[in-house]
Amino acid sequence: MSDCLYCKGKLKPERVTRVQEYDGHWYIIENLPALVCEQCGEVYYTPDAHDRVIDLIQNGTQPIRLESVPVLDAS
Ligand SMILES: [Zn+2]
């Protein structure tokens, strides 16, 4: 993949932060390799990056820090 699906902009490799829900818990994964559109900022994850996220979670990787996440009610 070399062009953005939305705007046809160029994709460049970057390290991004991804938020992932898994088994009812939320995880923040920093420094994940991804492709980012230079034009619109859309982020594309490779299958490898997705596997890496699931690996990190399933292996019980020690967090580098803990964050509290605000939960908002829109009802
Ligand atoms: Zn784009």
Span 43-73, pLDDT tens digits: 999 999 999 999 999 999 999 999 998 999 9
C-alpha–C-alpha distance, residues 20 and 8, integer Å: 26
pLDDT reading at 20 higher than 70: yes
**Tokens found for residue 62:** 């020690």
Distance 70 CA to ligand 1 centre (A): 30
* Stated pTM of the model: 0.82
Distance 4 CA to ligand 1 centre (A): 5
pLDDT reading at 6 higher than 90: yes
Instruction: Please provide the DSSP assignment of the chain as one string.
Output: --B-TTT-PBEEEEEEEEEEEETTEEEEEEEEEEEEETTT--EE--HHHHHHHHHHHHTTPPPS-----------
